[in-house]
Structure 1
Amino acid sequence: MTDQPGFTPTGTIASAADRRRVVFATVVGTTVEWYDFFIYATAVGLVFGQLFFSALGTNTVILGFATVGISFLFRPLGAFLAGHFGDKLGRKRVLMWTLILMGAATALIGVLPTAEVIGIGAPIMLVLLRILQGISAGGEWGGAVLMAVEHAPKKRRGVFGASPQIGVPLGLLLASGVMAIMTAIAPGDQFLAWGWRIPFLLSVVLILIGYYVRRNVEESPVFAELAARKEKAKMPIVQLFRKHALLVVIAALVFAGNNAIGYMTTGGYIQGYATNPEGPIGLERGPVLWAVTGSAVTWLLTTLFAGWISDRIGRRNTYIAGWILQLAGVFLLFPLVNTANVGLLFLGLAILTVGLGFTYGPQAALYTELFPASIRFSGVSISYAIGAIAGGAFAPTIAAAIVDATGSTEMVTWYLAGMTVIGLIATLLLHDRSGIPLGPDHEAEQSVSPIYGLAKA
């Protein structure tokens, strides 16, 4: 039992005001983190190929999207570090450090000299800073999820867990919106000269806000109870892979099925494809960015709704409905985008985000309920990081390479459909554990494998 003020003997936050503060801090913090992460991907689709990767004298579009994916390769490092220290030192402390690391890397990108000034040094420094963003993103999500879900009432974990999830569409909305505003303030060559830098430098202000908000919330009650009992795992990552390796893989594939499709916009692919003056669409930057911003709103709303409905029909059922909706969105996306009509482009993205929301909103609660308390940060973070590599890491690069090789988006659609089916199969392999007790008193129950056909992990 913990003696911290504001906690009951079971480790549950007693005050509704405290719960609201945690949710608010989670939304603000994750929005700032993902704004920083997505502003890079948006810039890759719009300007980085010309300003930085031209020094390498190759296909700058594919190379630029490859750097989006490279950062994912370092997410497991961030997840391993954050998981280890999050299970030993606490969720809150790790979240403060991931926020600072992400903000510093993003702001430094905003002052980097271009290839015209320093040649090959420009893309090298850009990639190094992107790697730091990847490390931060790998550690951020797991901590934010656990802060939200471990504070939640048992019957509201889905909607509480949706708070870090809506930080993703909010981050996309903010990143696309700020970029769209800058295309109006600094059109044409001015955007290439200095306009793209402002959204990166804005990160400094956002990080200060996020840091202040996160600093004023309580530690997760589950971790507080583990610490009070001195029951923290000594080597949480070793225990995770010794007892739950298969569960990590299956959980990762659930996320991969969502992430590959989500990175068509968050990875900057649709923005780049639709605005490429040498491509089949050739739309202006501003309208496309506003269409992506609008689709971020529909993604946000469906993500929040999916978290809420998962508290009523279960995580598994919500996911199954989501995979069906996502598959429909995948087959509609490019036929609508290829009309070269901004309104229909927005419609295609909006339809896609319905399925994305349903396969993203319940994820925080699903992951939290899969792993035992003592190794939960490690399990959640590492599953997420591996899923991000298998799904979104190189989805924009793969899509760009397919179109470059075939001259058509048809095979991109089948690639995205295949990833959706993988996510569905992985979901069907898992029992629904909605409402399982999360505290350390129930570690034995939590350690029973949720995989169909396995008695214990």
Structure 2
Amino acid sequence: MNARFAHDVAGTSRGHDDPEYAENLQRATLASSVGSALEYYDFALYGLASALIFGRLFFPALGTGMALVASLATFGVGFLARPLGGFFFGAMGDRLGRKSVLLITIALMGGASTLVGALPTGQQIGIWAPVLLVFLRLCQGFGAGAEQAGSTTLMAEYAPPERRGFFASLPFIGIYLGTLLASGVFALVTLVPDHLLFSWVWRVPFLFSVVLIAVALWIRSHLQESPTFVHLEAQEQVIDNPISDLMKHSRGNVLRGIGLRMAENGGSYLFQTLGISFAVTAGLTKSGGSVAVAISAVVAIVTVPLAGRISDRVGRKPVYRTGALIIMLVAFPGWYLLSSGKIVLAVVVLTVAISFGVCAMLGAQCAMLPELFGNRRRYIGVASSREISAVLAGGVAPILGAWLLAITHNAWWPIAIYACVLGAITFATTFFVPETKGRDLTLLTDAGGDSGQDELKRIESFGPLGTVRGAIA
């Protein structure tokens, strides 16, 4: 494969001369998007189920409040496996390439989600029901630990450098398509009478995952390897131990990546999972909660690529900083409004927090995290940053939040403080991260370690309108 990059989104410039590149770019976008859709269909579905029905199904012996905590704890368990999966598959992706790893992760993640729909409940087999649920959740998390990092890396490496923010954000539309699909399906199943919902209807959305697995595997099996990894192999620069290389050269950027993710990942699960459960206890119907998530996901389908496109013009840092600030500003009024249990207010809060706050950060992050790391350790670098933060932010947020609600008798203000702290951590981190817009992804050094000549080459490669004058051969 020729490892040069196309000129723009339509494949003009080089696209007219090389239709293969344009075709592979489209295929990479589709492959990454379907994988993202499956991952977040699984995770949004599990999050909704753990917040609304898993307590009764798998922890019937506990009281209502503690059953919710236990149910959300199984949700958090998946995040414990994500860093392990990120390290394992991330290192494999930097040694063997992106494509083979993405085939494995999608099968593992989707297969575990499908099997959740076949589990017996606590009333049927007692303690073994939650044990099996936790095991499948661990498998799901292990696969997901490298799935999103791989999709992010693949798309950033395929994208034209001057429009990398926009292109790299396109697969993340799959996040909200998956969330929308999960919330839509869940809204429908929660409309049925409780005796049917808790007997067999709850299984249907999980079993449906097998359809998405089949589609994703078929698409990815026809995908070619990313251009920058081909370049790495051609230069014989692939290393045997990416984890050791990461620990030696990239610890600072891993920490920066973790800080960047605290408000984006933690805020997402705090509002989308715990926020809905909190609003339901305040009077919002289960179907109303799913509708609120669905509406915010529809708006996010537009705001994610918009944020990515803006980051191509003004830089990654200003866009990221804006998203963190939105989370901080919406924290106190948002959780107060959720305590009303009214669907209109829930829709407004989730749309502002998720579709604008979280999505501004996500749109910039799609290109920024891969741009932070050198070519030999990019997959493991992105996976480490994403998945360690997923434990510290996304995994802990619903559990700690549910505990805070339990000990304060559903007071809204402790959760507002928590959300504000997450936003402040990310906002502060943006002042310690180098601007990465337009960085050459074939460089072996991390961002911040580029030579003056490399930096000058990056800046001079862009004209006033962001057009690329040079290409990577």
Q: TM-score, with normalisation over the residues of structure 1?
A: 0.92
- 1:271 is aligned, of 266, 272, 276, to 276
**Could you tell me how far apart the structure 2 residues matched to 1:181 and 1:250 are?**
41
Give the alignment of 1:30-429 within 5 angstroms: 30-55=36-61, 59-184=66-191, 186-266=192-272, 268-275=273-280, 279=281, 281-353=282-354, 354-407=356-409, 408-429=411-432
**Could you tell me how far apart the structure 2 residues matched to 1:56 and 1:216 are?**
48
- Give the conservation status (yes or no) of the 8 Å contact 2:332–2:413: no
**Could you tell me how far apart the structure 2 residues matched to 1:265 and 1:127 are?**
23
**Could you tell me how far apart the structure 2 residues matched to 1:114 and 1:246 are?**
45
**Could you tell me how far apart the structure 1 residues matched to 2:417 and 2:175 are?**
25
Structure 1 residue 65, shift from structure 2 partner: 1.0
| Amino acid of the structure 2 residue aligned with 1:146 | T
**Could you tell me how far apart the structure 2 residues matched to 1:187 and 1:272 are?**
19
- Give the conservation status (yes or no) of the 8 Å contact 1:294–1:346: yes
**Could you tell me how far apart the structure 2 residues matched to 1:112 and 1:227 are?**
44
Q: Secondary structure at the match of 1:286?
A: helix
Structure 1 residue 229, shift from structure 2 partner: 2.5
Structure 1 residue 172, shift from structure 2 partner: 1.2
**Could you tell me how far apart the structure 1 residues matched to 2:111 and 2:271 are?**
24
Q: What is the CA RMSD across the aligned residues, in angstroms?
A: 2.0
**Could you tell me how far apart the structure 2 residues matched to 1:61 and 1:121 are?**
18
| Amino acid of the structure 2 residue aligned with 1:222 | T
Q: Secondary structure at the match of 1:431?
A: coil
Structure 1 residue 356, shift from structure 2 partner: 0.9
**Unpaired segments ≥5 residues, structure 1:** 451-457
Q: Secondary structure at the match of 1:448?
A: coil
| Amino acid of the structure 2 residue aligned with 1:308 | R
Q: Secondary structure at the match of 1:107?
A: helix
**Could you tell me how far apart the structure 1 residues matched to 2:446 and 2:113 are?**
42
**Could you tell me how far apart the structure 2 residues matched to 1:208 and 1:19 are?**
21
Structure 1 residue 449, shift from structure 2 partner: 6.9
- Give the conservation status (yes or no) of the 8 Å contact 1:141–1:164: no
Deviations 1:125-171 (A, max 9, x none): 00000001111111101110111110011111101111232222222
**Cα separation, partners in 2 of 1:183 and 1:193, compared to 1, 3 Å:** same
- Give the conservation status (yes or no) of the 8 Å contact 2:278–2:338: no
**Unpaired segments ≥5 residues, structure 2:** 7-13, 452-473
Structure 1 residue 7, shift from structure 2 partner: 4.3
- Give the conservation status (yes or no) of the 8 Å contact 2:34–2:216: yes
Structure 1 residue 333, shift from structure 2 partner: 1.5
Corresponding residue of 2:10: none
Corresponding residue of 2:26: 20
- Give the conservation status (yes or no) of the 8 Å contact 1:265–1:292: no
**Could you tell me how far apart the structure 1 residues matched to 2:169 and 2:85 are?**
22
Structure 1 residue 187, shift from structure 2 partner: 2.8
Corresponding residue of 2:462: none
- 1:436 is aligned, of 433, 439, 451, to 439
Structure 1 residue 316, shift from structure 2 partner: 0.5
Deviations 1:246-280 (A, max 9, x none): 221121111112111100244x22232222xxx3x
**Could you tell me how far apart the structure 2 residues matched to 1:446 and 1:322 are?**
22
Structure 1 residue 23, shift from structure 2 partner: 1.1
Q: Secondary structure at the match of 2:60?
A: helix
Q: Secondary structure at the match of 2:362?
A: coil
Corresponding residue of 1:454: none
**Could you tell me how far apart the structure 1 residues matched to 2:34 and 2:212 are?**
9
Structure 1 residue 296, shift from structure 2 partner: 1.2
Quote the sequence identity (%): 35
Q: Secondary structure at the match of 1:340?
A: coil
Q: Secondary structure at the match of 2:441?
A: coil
- Give the conservation status (yes or no) of the 8 Å contact 2:120–2:129: yes
Structure 1 residue 282, shift from structure 2 partner: 2.5
Deviations 1:216-249 (A, max 9, x none): 2211101111122321011111010111112211
Which 4+ stretches in 1 moved above 6 angstroms? none
Q: For structure 1, which segment, 296-305 or 53-62, has the greater mean C-alpha deviation from structure 2 after superposition? A: 53-62
| Amino acid of the structure 2 residue aligned with 1:315 | R
Deviations 1:47-85 (A, max 9, x none): 100010224668111111111111111111100111111
**Could you tell me how far apart the structure 2 residues matched to 1:143 and 1:156 are?**
19
Q: Secondary structure at the match of 1:438?
A: coil
- Give the conservation status (yes or no) of the 8 Å contact 2:279–2:340: no
| Amino acid of the structure 2 residue aligned with 1:343 | V
| Amino acid of the structure 2 residue aligned with 1:238 | S
**Could you tell me how far apart the structure 2 residues matched to 1:323 and 1:335 are?**
19
| Amino acid of the structure 2 residue aligned with 1:307 | G
| Amino acid of the structure 2 residue aligned with 1:42 | L
Q: For structure 1, which segment, 197-206 or 222-231, has the greater mean C-alpha deviation from structure 2 after superposition? A: 222-231
**Could you tell me how far apart the structure 2 residues matched to 1:308 and 1:39 are?**
29
- Give the conservation status (yes or no) of the 8 Å contact 1:55–1:120: no
**Cα separation, partners in 2 of 1:128 and 1:371, compared to 1, 3 Å:** same
**Cα separation, partners in 2 of 1:123 and 1:187, compared to 1, 3 Å:** same
Structure 1 residue 180, shift from structure 2 partner: 0.8
Structure 1 residue 432, shift from structure 2 partner: 0.3
Structure 1 residue 445, shift from structure 2 partner: 6.9
